[in-house]
């Protein structure tokens, strides 16, 4: 799991099940929420607005940090933030309304609505667009989508024309690839079917029925006061205004804006059946399975996840200056919305923690003492069905887990054979055969429940040893490296610490394993710096998921 990924009303027992409500007072719960949020959002920098609800009741709603760091103006919990890709669930519901009204079929070929769209003889359905299996090139990954282009205003038709002639990435339905072009096409189809603009259709058929009074499709100028300002972190670590982007371009894939309370109202309207039938909503929340049996974890505008064994429906968003996360746990009826006004500060870890606490789970369970003899039975090498390997070993009397190529994470025993990753919502349950020997691990991550890892005969490798480099040694790596036209990694330095931050991702510290190669502890990845014959560093290589991706210094 990404330790950073998505969001005590009740304290849980050691087994992780919910205890009876009321064991934590409202004041104690609020204090726990406050601690999480103030640690995440300092009061002297951009921050975020946060809302937690349980059932029909909002149990927490506050804002932290600044809307304007220069003027020291604080954020307010009622401020409007850009939502980025959280927009996609609104677009999906609009499409499903038209399905319900028999204006559209999920299996309709998109050429029924856009006759001149070049499909190359392939059948691309509305459903392919919804679940990111169309194979259409996502315009935000095209080299042509340059910073200069990003500032230009587009009509929906012009935006479709911008990417429609690009070659397909794969045959429709064969693969899953997150795709902004697909949702642009869905917005355009809504306009063709209804004769209304995308914005007008949503206002009349989604916003008003759901009671959303401050949710907007963003047109320039902004329709009301009270919109949060967006920021980014520069390569030298300073906070600066976000890069300009015409909001005509995210369109139906990411141009909505709202306050956190409207996201709560949106979620309540959805699950009360105000917008689409419960059957269609369930279909939207059912992960698509590819022909080869791969579960994509994505439905129609929502990602399906897991939190300590409890299912979630969720989605994040990213647009210059803003990041968003909306998580719902249907079983516990817990909804968490976190909106931030700097794309340098991911809301996912805060959203995860708030959701877990509201649902009644412990963030830091007490450790059950286990003897060294018992702990040794868990050590070994384990492999999942994708070929990834995980090492379990003892370090200084503590059990730790390390994916090959990544850092180590301490494991906390919550009972015999069951452990929690320290500082995380990932749980590992060790599996034994009839004779009592450990044969595998069942891993509950934020992504999935029961991810299986099988014990192998591989020898446990020696752990990565960190070395310390001087400030002067680290200084030559600082800069920005472009790995693709719209994807770069910024390297910043704070004393003897080095940090990397990929485009629209949180910042992570990296740790030296040599004078040129560094590894991350939070993500299974390494970065390598390549000096030229004069010793100047103008190239980086990102090693992740079996790939090596080079990048040239641009700043």
State the CATH architecture for 81-359: 3-Layer(aba) Sandwich (3.40)
pLDDT, tens digit, for every residue of 28-40? 899 999 999 999 9
Query: Contact at 8 Å (CB) between 264 and 337?
Result: yes
| Percent of the chain with pLDDT strictly greater than 90 | 78
Contacts of 307 by beta carbon, 8 Å cutoff, 6+ apart? 6, 329, 352, 355, 356, 359, 361, 425, 446
Local confidence band at 123 (pLDDT 50, 70, 90 cut-offs): very high
Report pLDDT for 461: 60
Strand partners of residue 421: 411
Report pLDDT for 462: 62
Q: What are phi and psi of 216, to 5 degrees?
A: -140, 150
State the CATH architecture for 471-553: Beta Barrel (2.40)
Report pLDDT for 22: 37
| Residue 529 scores a pLDDT above 90 | yes
Strand partners of residue 250: none
SS3 category, 413: strand
Average pLDDT of span 378-385: 93
Average pLDDT of span 286-299: 94
Average pLDDT of span 138-145: 93
Report pLDDT for 522: 66
Report pLDDT for 463: 62
Report pLDDT for 15: 28
pTM: 0.81
pLDDT, tens digit, for every residue of 382-432? 999 888 889 999 988 899 998 775 567 899 999 999 999 998 899 999 999
Q: Do domains 81-359 and 471-553 have the same CATH topology?
A: no
Rounded CA separation 65/350 (Å): 14
pLDDT, tens digit, for every residue of 264-275? 999 999 999 999
Burial 53-71 (b: 16+ CB within 10 A, else e): bbeeeebbbbbbbbbebee
Q: HSE on the CB side for 385, CA within 13 Å?
A: 7
Report pLDDT for 403: 79
Rounded CA separation 175/70 (Å): 46
Average pLDDT of span 207-225: 89
State the CATH architecture for 372-455: Beta Barrel (2.40)
pLDDT, tens digit, for every residue of 153-180? 999 999 999 999 999 999 999 999 999 9
Report pLDDT for 124: 98
pLDDT, tens digit, for every residue of 532-555? 888 899 999 998 866 788 999 988
Q: Where are the domains of the chain?
A: 81-359, 372-455, 471-553
| Residue 296 scores a pLDDT above 90 | yes
Rounded CA separation 401/409 (Å): 5
Report pLDDT for 406: 59
> What is the residue-averaged pLDDT of the chain?
90
Q: Which two tokens stand for residue 334?
A: 């817990």
Query: Contact at 8 Å (CB) between 205 and 195?
Result: no
């Amino acid at each position: 799991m990404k330790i950073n990924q998505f969001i005590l009303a009740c304290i849980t027992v050691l087994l992780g099940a919910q205890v009876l409500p009321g064991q934590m007072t409202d004041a104690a719960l609020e204090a726990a929420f406050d601690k999480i949020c103030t640690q995440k959002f300092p009061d002297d920098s951009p921050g975020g607005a946060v809302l937690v609800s349980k059932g029909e009741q909002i149990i927490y709603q506050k804002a932290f940090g600044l809307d304007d760091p220069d003027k020291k103006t604080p954020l307010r919990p009622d401020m409007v933030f850009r939502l980025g890709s959280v927009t996609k669930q609104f677009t999906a519901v609009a499409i499903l309304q038209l399905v319900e009204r028999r204006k559209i079929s999920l299996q309709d070929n998109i050429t029924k609505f856009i006759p001149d769209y070049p499909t190359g003889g392939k059948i691309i359905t509305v459903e392919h667009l919804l679940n990111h299996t169309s194979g259409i090139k996502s315009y935000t990954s095209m080299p042509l989508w340059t910073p200069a282009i990003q500032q230009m205003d587009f009509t929906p038709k012009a935006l479709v024309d911008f990417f429609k002639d690009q070659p397909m990435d794969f045959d429709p339905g064969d693969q899953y690839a997150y795709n902004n072009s697909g949702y642009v096409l869905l917005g355009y189809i809504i306009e063709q079917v209804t004769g209304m603009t995308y914005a007008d259709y949503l206002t009349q058929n989604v916003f008003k029925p759901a009671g959303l009074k401050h949710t907007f499709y963003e047109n320039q100028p902004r329709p009301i006061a009270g919109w949060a300002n967006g920021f980014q972190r520069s390569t030298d670590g300073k906070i600066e205004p976000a890069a300009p982007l015409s909001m005509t371009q995210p369109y139906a894939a990411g141009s909505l804006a709202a306050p956190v309370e409207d996201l709560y109202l949106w979620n309540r309207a959805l699950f009360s059946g105000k917008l689409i039938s419960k059957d269609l909503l369930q279909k939207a929340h059912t992960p698509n399975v590819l022909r080869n049996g791969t579960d994509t974890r994505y439905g129609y505008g929502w990602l399906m996840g897991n939190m300590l064994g409890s299912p979630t429906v969720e989605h994040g968003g990213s647009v210059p200056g803003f990041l968003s996360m909306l998580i719902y746990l249907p079983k516990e009826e817990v909804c968490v919305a976190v909106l931030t006004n700097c794309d340098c500060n991911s809301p996912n870890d805060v959203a995860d923690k708030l959701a877990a606490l509201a649902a009644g789970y412990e963030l830091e369970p007490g450790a059950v003492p286990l003897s060294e003899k018992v702990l040794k039975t868990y050590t070994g090498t384990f492999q999942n069905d994708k070929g990834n390997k995980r090492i379990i070993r003892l370090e200084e009397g503590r059990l730790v887990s390390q994916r090959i190529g990544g850092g180590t994470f301490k494991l906390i025993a919550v009972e015999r054979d069951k452990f929690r990753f320290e500082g995380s919502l990932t749980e590992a349950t060790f599996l034994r055969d009839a004779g009592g020997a450990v044969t595998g691990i069942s891993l509950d991550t934020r992504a999935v429940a029961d991810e299986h890892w099988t014990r192998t005969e591989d020898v446990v490798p020696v752990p990565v040893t960190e070395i310390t480099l001087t400030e002067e040694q680290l200084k030559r790596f600082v800069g920005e490296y472009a790995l693709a036209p719209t994807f770069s990694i910024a390297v910043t330095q704070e004393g003897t610490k080095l940090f990397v931050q990929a485009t629209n991702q949180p910042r992570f510290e990296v740790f030296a394993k040599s004078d040129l190669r560094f590894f991350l502890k939070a993500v299974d990845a390494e970065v390598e710096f390549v000096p030229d014959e004069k010793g100047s560093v103008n190239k980086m290589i990102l090693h992740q998921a079996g790939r090596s991706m080079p990048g040239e210094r641009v700043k």
